[in-house]
């Protein structure tokens, strides 16, 4: 296997992603397993988007945020899993320098995900703590601006780390003991000190993670205080059920991302780092649609209508083909 690939100027023009070095039969098993999970992630998050789009009952800020979050999950998981699958069955396992930087950029979409989870928490706070003012505050205009803020904020937040990494000199070797271009393994290949870049990237990642996490915790502290003061047991149950799905996704997302970036010593063991990154890359996108689809009656009804419509169209198309063949 090649250990370095240089252009005329002597700088690295591509990287080699080692991925999961193991026996061929195990690689085939991993390829089939990850392909199946990736397919389920795409189908699950697409179903959320279709359900929200097709049902007027779901055209509310909470579900609009959820649909955007699901689309973000599709974009995020598609930035690394297809390349990982290609490398598993490929012999070269190479990725271009530009492709590596773009993969790092889109894989680090946690900034946009953090912002979307924060505005979803803000929406639940208004709905439970300010129910009378909710329609006048959370208007469709504000909802649209919050969606734009999350997308733009997520992409812009990552520009500084991307620009800094693009200035890092790579002159060989170019072998990354990982299945994607993550920050730590990538900077480890630099042929010059990069302590400043590492520090700035770490600070920016920590800021967006901890600030949004603390904001969500503070929001739900206020929500919990209001819910516990409700005299009606049914009212408390309805409020808890409204927040349960979002809390589950928040716990899963922040638990996995903190385990990935903040777990002490995880970067010292490539095998552990790959496992933690793989869990982070697949867990939230996989469980997010399951949590919302199976815990929400409105989502279930919308999905049933879509399935019935698809089934009806399929039967109608089959009937047309049958009549054409017999005439």
Residue 56: inside a domain: yes
Residue 318: inside a domain: no
Q: In which domain, by residue range, is 234 found? A: 14-312
pLDDT at 318: 61
Query: Total domain count for the chain?
Result: 1
Residue 319: inside a domain: no
What pTM was computed for the model? 0.85
Q: What does DSSP say about strands 94-96 and 14-17: parallel, antiparallel, or unpaired?
A: antiparallel
* Of 113 and 316, the one with more pLDDT: 113
Q: Is the pLDDT of residue 261 over 80?
A: no
pLDDT at 320: 56
Long-range contacts of 83-90 (CB under 8 A, 24+ apart): 83/17, 83/180, 84/19, 84/34, 84/179, 84/180, 85/31, 85/34, 85/35, 85/38, 87/17, 87/19, 87/179, 88/19, 88/20, 88/27, 88/30, 88/31, 88/34, 89/27, 89/28, 89/31
127: three-class secondary structure by DSSP: helix
> How far is residue 116's CA from residue 68's CA, in Å, rounded to a whole number?
8
pLDDT tens per residue across span 273-325:
788 888 888 888 888 888 877 667 777 777 777 777 767 666 666 655 555 56
CATH number of the CATH domain containing 146: 1.20.1070.10
Task: Tell me if 72 sits within 8 A of 112, measured CB to CB.
Answer: yes
Residue 326: inside a domain: no
pLDDT tens per residue across span 39-53:
999 998 998 898 888
H/E stretch holding 51 = helix 24-54
């Amino acid at each position: 296997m090649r250990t370095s690939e240089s252009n005329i100027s002597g700088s690295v023009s591509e990287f080699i992603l080692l991925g999961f070095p193991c026996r061929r039969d195990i690689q085939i098993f991993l390829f089939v397993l990850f392909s199946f999970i990736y397919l389920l992630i795409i189908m699950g998050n697409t179903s959320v988007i279709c359900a929200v789009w097709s049902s007027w009952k779901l055209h509310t800020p909470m579900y609009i945020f959820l649909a955007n979050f699901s689309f973000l999950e599709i974009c995020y998981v598609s930035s690394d899993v297809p390349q990982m699958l290609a490398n598993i069955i490929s012999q070269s396992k190479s990725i271009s320098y530009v492709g590596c930087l773009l993969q790092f950029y889109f894989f680090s979409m946690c900034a946009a995900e953090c912002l979307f989870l924060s505005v979803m928490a803000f929406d639940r706070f208004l709905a439970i703590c300010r129910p009378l003012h909710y329609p006048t505050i959370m208007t469709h205009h504000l909802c649209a601006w919050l969606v734009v803020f999350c997308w733009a904020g997520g992409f812009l937040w990552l520009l500084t780390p991307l620009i800094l990494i693009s200035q890092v000199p790579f002159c060989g070797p170019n072998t990354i003991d990982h299945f994607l271009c993550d920050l730590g393994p990538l900077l480890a290949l630099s042929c010059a000190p990069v302590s400043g870049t590492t520090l700035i990237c770490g600070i920016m990642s920590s800021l967006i993670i901890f600030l949004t996490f603390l904001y969500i915790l503070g929001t739900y502290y206020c929500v919990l205080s209001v819910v516990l003061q409700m005299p009606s047991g049914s009212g408390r149950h309805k409020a808890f059920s409204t927040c349960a799905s979002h809390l589950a996704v928040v716990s899963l997302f922040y638990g996995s991302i903190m385990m990935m970036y903040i777990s002490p010593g995880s970067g010292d063991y490539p095998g552990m780092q790959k496992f933690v990154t793989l869990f982070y890359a697949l867990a939230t996108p996989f469980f997010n649609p399951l949590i919302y689809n199976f815990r929400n009656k409105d989502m279930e009804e919308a999905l049933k209508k879509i399935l019935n419509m698809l089934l009806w169209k399929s039967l109608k198309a089959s009937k047309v083909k049958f009549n054409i063949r017999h005439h």
